[in-house]
Structure 1
Amino acid sequence: MRSTGKLGITLLVLTFLTIALVDLTRDKQIDWTRTYDQREKMPYGLFFTRTELPKILGDKEVKVHDFNAMNYPDLKNFLRGKENGSLVYIVDGMYDGKEAIKELLAYVERGGEVFISTNSLPLDLLDTLGLYQEYYYPQDFNEVIDFEDRPFMLTDGSTAFYKDLDYPGLFYEIDSVGISRVGYFKAEDREIPNFVEVKRKKGRFLLHLEPLMFTNYYMLKQQNYNYAASALKLLSRREVFWYDALAKSNDSARTPLRVLLQNDGLRQAWYILLFGLLLFLLFRSKREQIAIPIVEPEKNLSKEFAKTIATLYYESGNPGNLVQKKIEYFLYDLRVNFLLDTLALEEPSFSKQLAAKTGVPLADCIQIITLVIKYRKITATTDRELIDVNKQIEEFKNKANIL
């Protein structure tokens, strides 16, 4: 009994030491998951926006509530008698069914207001409102891919710049009656709408196509905050209902084990404790196993084999043949990694496309393509030319991060 107590104390001490060591040495990576969750403080959560919303709308003494009416019956019951309020959806995509969309439309027509910021609007809603949604692809607008900040503006003059929105959503053909442009972004001196107001009888929809603008990462920048705050200030009702997809799941039973698993430190301690108890049971059982001989796995000689074959091929083969294979493998890498059409290798625009997709200077791209075209048509080369071609191709692959 005495030895068992000592063993238990030893395991307990080792558990605490292991927890401390794990907490001190672990690398806490930033989670860039696009959760759009109002409880999350990660970059793409909505904690700051949800917390700040009463302040943004404070001059109107607005009351903000959360709701989680996803399906048709729940939504119908929830919206009953709330025509003087505003619904706010900030989600990655809206996937409500036809009946739920009809209920939202009926709510707006009775006088309600709905603000939606999402990457994908339901087709039923778009068709009913007479809207068309698409995504901005630079090549469709004869624009070179631009990695610099892109300006997004509201009609009230608020402007913000966003660098990571490569393919933002847009509306087109919005000349229908009752639809007006509220915000847009600029591309090649064009004003492309991505935020519209749609009036339906007594109410209206405010439809915005980039929810990332309301996440913590952007809201903590002053200019971006001003843009998002100006968009949210368009809400004109004194009572706001914030859509929270996880509200019901978070209101479920809170068992002690659930609390342990939610906290990083407690979760690690729980697993280590279980592991310690397992070790204790193994030692306590005093069972012995027959020694199992160690069988060494066969050595992997793939590299040596490839080196031997390459040496034999080089000594007895034709350097020109090796150059041809080196070039073909290089073109294969361009097709796989950058989706380039190597059949258009000799066209002037190919080098520009290669530079745009690899990030390698245009002069280097022109040089390597010229080299490939030259030696692709030559079947007889010297060893010196083989070495030179191999060196230039490998240098380009390093610049383009081709593994």
Structure 2
Amino acid sequence: MNKTFKLYGIIFIIVMAVLAVLELNRTEVTDWRKNFDLTKKTPFGLFVFNKEVNKLLQNEVTKTDLSPYNFYKNSQKKPHNILLIQSKIDAESWNKILRSVYSGSDALVISEDFPPSLADSLGFTPANVSLRTENTLKLTDEKLKTDSLILDKLPGGQGFYSVQKSHGILGKAVLDGGKVNFIKIKYGKGHFYLHSEPLFLTNYYLLKPGNQKYAQDVFSYLPARETVWFSGANKPTAESPSPLRFILSKPALKYAWWLFLGGLLLFAIFNAKRKQRIVPIIEPLKNKSVEFVKSIGNLYLQEGDFHDMMEKKAQFFLHRVRMDLMIDTQHLDEKFAHLLHLKTGTDLKEINDAIDLIKRGQDPYASVIKDDLVRMNTLLDKILK
């Protein structure tokens, strides 16, 4: 195991230890988003209300995920109650609700926002948002005035103004100068009940002692009959089909997953930098000179032309004497033999024997045999060793 790998291992262990300590000391962060989700136990979810709604409405609640348009398209229901909580529905669905209320149904709409088309149809104008950090909700009925609810966390601050005389004012926000936030509007044979502060139905406020009474008072305006709650907008979106949905839904597993992917990426980067691309093995060119010489030699031996071989050997020897020893080879006389003896240190007798063999190789009419070629080759190699 090399030092670099040990270093990476130590760094990885340290990072894992730090993350483990941070995870153990991590405090749970409260989600204060206004999600109005039926399954969420966060402060502004509707989990508690979803469990208690049947008690509030005498066990006559029908919850549906269908939009009002699809719900009323295939069925003609007798007059009933309609419940909408912070719902975003389309214009055609609102038209279906208006027709149902006109025929004798009652609709309780609890939302911070109302569509302009509904405001035009019912003749009310939403008020501007208040910037107060807390408020108190009270009902105007003399019998219900004592059942108030204090909003101390993120009140919406919505309401109504320019309320027509024919509209009934059912509730107000006290600290906003009595801003109207709960009204009753007659529409055909039925009524619309509009409440602009849905927070009073969330987990945070329903679990506070005494606040349940305010919620009961609001729902008491609905007659005792079947209530259709269009709860599709308050349900979570469809579960992700991803096989990682369980891992990503748990904070600890999610952090471990991203850490694993990050570590894998770093390993790939560093590993790629350390490894060199494979260099192909290129065989060096073979020296064919020796093989060529052997081939030529074998050719001459097969032909048996010893005279020609002695001539070429003599030419090669004299060429080297001229180039390496700087001796003139034009005349192979005693002076040449003496200079060759001085520069090579070879015995003078052997030099004279070699000169005699060279002359015989240069004479085209001289008779030579194989032993002459061997003797000549031995002497010349000895002189230039």
TM-score range relative to shorter protein: 0.5 to 0.7
Q: C-alpha distance in 2, partners of 1:12/1:240?
A: 57
Instruction: Please report how far the alpha carbon of residue 112 of structure 1 lies from its aligned counterpart in structure 2 after TM superposition.
Output: 2.9
- What SS class does the counterpart of residue 50 from structure 1 fall into? helix
Instruction: Please report how far the alpha carbon of residue 76 of structure 1 lies from its aligned counterpart in structure 2 after TM superposition.
Output: 4.7
1:161 paired to 2:159: no
Q: Pick the aligned partner of 1:112 from 94, 105, 108.
A: 105
1:240 paired to 2:240: no
Is this contact kept in 2: 1:168–1:210, CA < 8 A?
yes
Segments of 5+ residues of structure 2 without an aligned counterpart are 277-385
- What SS class does the counterpart of residue 182 from structure 1 fall into? strand
Matching residue of 1:81: 76
User: Structure 1 24/84 Cα, relative in aligned 2: closer, same or farther at 3 Å?
Assistant: farther
Q: Pick the aligned partner of 1:67 from 65, 68, 77.
A: 65
Q: C-alpha distance in 1, partners of 2:47/2:160?
A: 26
Is this contact kept in 2: 1:120–1:209, CA < 8 A?
yes
- What SS class does the counterpart of residue 222 from structure 1 fall into? coil
1:48 paired to 2:37: no
Q: C-alpha distance in 2, partners of 1:64/1:20?
A: 47
Instruction: Please report how far the alpha carbon of residue 111 of structure 1 lies from its aligned counterpart in structure 2 after TM superposition.
Output: 3.2
- What SS class does the counterpart of residue 61 from structure 1 fall into? coil
Deviations 1:4-40 (A, max 9, x none): xx99999998897566334213343222222222222
Is this contact kept in 1: 2:172–2:178, CA < 8 A?
yes
Q: C-alpha distance in 1, partners of 2:52/2:38?
A: 11
Is this contact kept in 2: 1:172–1:193, CA < 8 A?
no
TM-score (norm 1): 0.55
Deviations 1:55-114 (A, max 9, x none): 333xx22234142527x5x46537x334444332221xx664443322220121233332
Q: Pick the aligned partner of 2:209 from 198, 218, 222.
A: 222
User: Structure 1 149/181 Cα, relative in aligned 2: closer, same or farther at 3 Å?
Assistant: closer
Give the letter aligned to residue 153 of structure 1.
L
TM-score (norm 2): 0.58
Matches within 5 A, 1:249-268: 250-252=237-239, 254-268=241-255
Is this contact kept in 2: 1:171–1:194, CA < 8 A?
no
Is this contact kept in 2: 1:260–1:267, CA < 8 A?
yes
Q: C-alpha distance in 2, partners of 1:186/1:276?
A: 57
Deviations 1:210-229 (A, max 9, x none): 11222222112123222123
Is this contact kept in 2: 1:85–1:241, CA < 8 A?
no
Q: Pick the aligned partner of 2:120 from 122, 127, 130.
A: 127
Is this contact kept in 2: 1:261–1:267, CA < 8 A?
yes
Is this contact kept in 2: 1:84–1:239, CA < 8 A?
no
Give the letter aligned to residue 172 of structure 2.
Y
Matching residue of 2:184: 197
Give the letter aligned to residue 202 of structure 2.
T
Is this contact kept in 2: 1:151–1:162, CA < 8 A?
yes
User: Structure 1 170/271 Cα, relative in aligned 2: closer, same or farther at 3 Å?
Assistant: same
1:231 paired to 2:218: yes
Q: C-alpha distance in 2, partners of 1:113/1:28?
A: 42
Give the letter aligned to residue 90 of structure 1.
I
- What SS class does the counterpart of residue 237 from structure 1 fall into? coil
Instruction: Please report how far the alpha carbon of residue 207 of structure 1 lies from its aligned counterpart in structure 2 after TM superposition.
Output: 0.6
Instruction: Please report how far the alpha carbon of residue 193 of structure 1 lies from its aligned counterpart in structure 2 after TM superposition.
Output: 3.0
Q: C-alpha distance in 2, partners of 1:195/1:50?
A: 22
Q: C-alpha distance in 1, partners of 2:239/2:157?
A: 38
Q: C-alpha distance in 1, partners of 2:129/2:237?
A: 36
**Which protein has the larger Cα radius of gyration, Structure 1 or Structure 2?**
2
Q: C-alpha distance in 1, partners of 2:62/2:9?
A: 52
Q: C-alpha distance in 2, partners of 1:245/1:22?
A: 37
Matching residue of 2:169: 181
- What SS class does the counterpart of residue 120 from structure 2 fall into? helix
Matching residue of 1:150: 136
Is this contact kept in 1: 2:83–2:227, CA < 8 A?
no
Is this contact kept in 1: 2:200–2:206, CA < 8 A?
yes
Matching residue of 2:346: none
Q: C-alpha distance in 2, partners of 1:51/1:160?
A: 20
User: Structure 1 163/170 Cα, relative in aligned 2: closer, same or farther at 3 Å?
Assistant: farther
Is this contact kept in 1: 2:134–2:150, CA < 8 A?
no
Instruction: Please report how far the alpha carbon of residue 244 of structure 1 lies from its aligned counterpart in structure 2 after TM superposition.
Output: 3.0
Give the letter aligned to residue 231 of structure 1.
V
Is this contact kept in 2: 1:114–1:205, CA < 8 A?
yes
Deviations 1:216-257 (A, max 9, x none): 22112123222123213433333432433264x633553322
Q: C-alpha distance in 1, partners of 2:173/2:234?
A: 32
Matches within 5 A, 1:298-377: none
Give the letter aligned to residue 118 of structure 1.
S
Segments of 5+ residues of structure 1 without an aligned counterpart are 138-144, 290-403
Q: C-alpha distance in 2, partners of 1:166/1:241?
A: 22
Is this contact kept in 1: 2:79–2:100, CA < 8 A?
no
Matching residue of 1:37: 37
Deviations 1:135-163 (A, max 9, x none): 376xxxxxxx9877535225241222234
Give the letter aligned to residue 185 of structure 1.
A
